[in-house]
C-alpha cells in the first residue's frame, strides 16, 4: 500500500506539490490523473525516493522508500522508459538487475515472458528498441523483484492498441492477485477501463479522490435521435443542458430516465440512450482541472 500524507514540495517560490494526501490500496488499481505540470511526476518521484519532500510523508507498506531493505523486491517502479542503457541488450539489463536484487536468474525469463518480449527481442540492444519495447522492458524490470506494489508513470506511451490491451490485462491481473498499482496516464479511456480508484491533481493539489463509481456517478447521459435537431430543441425546452458530441447526438446533464421521458413526451424517435460512460471520465477531468491548468516550469512536472 502507498500512503501519501500532507506532501509538499517547493522549488523556490513555486509550489509543485501542495499538501497532497491519498492512498493506493492492495488489490486495486489507482489512476493518478492531472494536466501537464499538475504535480503527478513530482509526487511519484518523492514516493520513489528520487526527490526529497519539503514536508509531509510518502510511505510504501508503512516505510519510506529509502528505508526499505532491497526496495525493488517490495515496490516496482517505472518512471521513464527511456532511462535504460542503450548499449546493452534487454536481457543484459534484466540480468544485471537480478544480480543486484539477489533474485534467481530464472526471474529474468519469467519477467520477459510476462511482458511478451521474445528471446530474439531480448537479445537486441536497447538503442534499437521502439518506445513500446522500452516500455515493456521497463515493466519487466519493475516486476523482476516480485514486488507487492507497482508504480508506473505513463506506461502506455509508445504502445499500439494490442500493447495497451496487453498492459491493461497484466495490471488488472496483478491487482487481482493482491498487488497495489499506482498508474499515471493521460489516456483517460484506458484509466476508466482499468482503474478502481481515481486521484485527480491540479495545480499541485488534490481536486478529487474516490472510487471510480463515486466520482463518475451522476454525470448524465448520451442520447441520439433520428432527428437530432428536434431532440436538441426538446431538451432545451425542458430546461436540460445538452452538449453536441461527435457523430451526432448529445451528452446530456440528466439521467437516462429523465431524457427518455422528455423524448417520449416530444415524440422523438431515439436510436441511442445510455448513461454517459463513454465520455464520463474526460468530462469529469476537464471540469475538475479547467481552473488548474498551468504552464509547466522548465525542469519541473
Task: Please write the tens of the pLDDT for every residue from 184-199.
Answer: 988 788 888 899 999 9
Alpha carbon distances (Å) from 154 to 31, 110, 171, 179: 11, 23, 13, 19
Q: How confident is the model at residue 8 (pLDDT cuts 50, 70, 90)?
A: very high
In a domain, 155, yes or no: yes
CATH number of domain containing 269: 3.30.70
Q: How confident is the model at residue 236 (pLDDT cuts 50, 70, 90)?
A: very high
In a domain, 284, yes or no: no
The pLDDT of residue 276: 67
**Are 33 and 168 members of one domain?**
yes
Domain boundary among 211, 229, 259: 211
For residues 247-262, give the mean pLDDT.
89
In a domain, 54, yes or no: yes
The pLDDT of residue 193: 87
CATH number of domain containing 38: 3.40.50.300
Over residues 67-106, the pLDDT tens digits come to 999 999 999 999 988 888 999 999 999 999 999 999 999 9
Evaluated on CA atoms 101, 104, 106, 107, the torsion sign reads negative
**Are 136 and 28 members of one domain?**
yes
In a domain, 297, yes or no: no
Average pLDDT across the chain, whole number:
89
**Are 207 and 241 members of one domain?**
no
In a domain, 111, yes or no: yes
**Are 170 and 245 members of one domain?**
no
For residues 113-126, give the mean pLDDT.
94
**Are 62 and 91 members of one domain?**
yes
**Are 155 and 263 members of one domain?**
no
Structural domain total, the chain: 2
Q: Tell me how many degrees the CA angle 3-32-49 measures, rounded to the nearest 5.
A: 50
pTM: 0.76
Q: How confident is the model at residue 278 (pLDDT cuts 50, 70, 90)?
A: very low
Domain boundary among 160, 183, 211: 211
**Are 99 and 177 members of one domain?**
yes
**Are 263 and 115 members of one domain?**
no
The pLDDT of residue 298: 46
Comparing 56-70, 139-153, 201-215, 267-281, the range with the smallest average pLDDT is: 267-281
Burial class (CB in 10 A: 0-12, 13-18, 19+), 215: buried
**Are 66 and 165 members of one domain?**
yes
In a domain, 281, yes or no: no
The pLDDT of residue 159: 85
Domain enclosing residue 174, as ranges: 2-211
In the predicted structure, residue 220 carries a pLDDT above the cut 90: no
**Are 182 and 157 members of one domain?**
yes
In the predicted structure, residue 297 carries a pLDDT above the cut 70: no
In a domain, 87, yes or no: yes
The pLDDT of residue 68: 96
**Are 27 and 141 members of one domain?**
yes
**Are 159 and 230 members of one domain?**
no
In a domain, 288, yes or no: no
Amino acid at each position: 500500500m502507498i500512503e501519501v500524507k500532507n506532501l509538499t514540495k517547493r522549488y523556490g517560490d513555486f509550489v509543485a506539490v501542495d499538501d497532497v494526501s491519498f492512498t493506493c490500496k492492495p488489490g486495486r488499481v489507482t489512476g493518478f490523473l492531472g494536466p501537464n505540470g499538475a504535480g503527478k511526476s513530482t509526487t511519484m518521484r518523492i514516493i520513489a525516493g528520487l526527490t526529497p519532500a519539503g514536508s509531509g510523508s510518502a510511505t510504501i507498506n508503512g516505510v519510506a522508500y529509502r528505508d526499505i531493505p532491497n526496495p525493488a523486491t517490495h515496490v516496482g517502479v517505472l518512471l521513464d522508459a527511456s532511462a535504460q542503457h542503450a548499449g546493452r541488450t534487454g536481457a543484459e539489463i534484466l540480468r544485471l538487475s537480478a544480480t543486484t536484487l539477489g533474485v534467481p536468474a530464472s526471474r529474468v525469463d519469467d519477467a520477459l515472458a510476462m511482458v511478451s518480449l521474445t528471446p530474439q527481442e531480448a537479445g537486441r540492444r536497447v538503442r534499437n528498441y521502439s518506445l513500446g519495447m522500452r516500455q515493456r522492458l521497463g515493466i519487466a524490470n519493475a516486476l523482476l523483484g516480485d514486488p507487492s506494489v507497482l508504480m508506473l508513470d505513463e506506461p502506455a506511451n509508445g504502445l499500439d492498441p494490442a500493447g495497451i490491451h496487453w498492459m491493461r490485462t497484466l495490471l488488472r491481473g496483478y491487482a487481482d492477485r493482491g498487488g497495489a498499482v499506482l498508474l499515471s496516464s493521460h489516456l483517460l479511456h484506458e484509466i476508466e477501463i482499468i482503474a478502481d480508484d481515481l486521484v485527480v491533481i491540479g495545480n499541485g493539489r488534490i481536486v478529487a479522490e474516490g472510487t471510480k463509481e463515486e466520482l463518475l456517478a451522476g454525470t448524465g447521459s448520451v442520447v441520439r435521435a433520428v432527428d437530432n435537431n428536434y431532440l436538441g430543441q426538446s431538451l432545451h425546452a425542458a430546461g436540460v443542458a445538452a452538449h453536441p458530441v461527435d457523430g451526432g447526438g448529445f451528452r446530456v446533464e440528466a439521467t437516462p430516465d429523465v431524457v427518455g421521458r422528455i423524448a417520449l413526451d416530444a415524440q422523438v424517435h431515439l436510436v441511442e440512450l445510455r448513461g454517459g460512460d463513454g465520455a464520463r471520465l474526460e468530462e469529469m477531468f476537464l471540469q475538475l482541472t479547467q481552473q488548474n491548468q498551468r504552464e509547466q516550469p522548465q525542469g519541473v512536472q
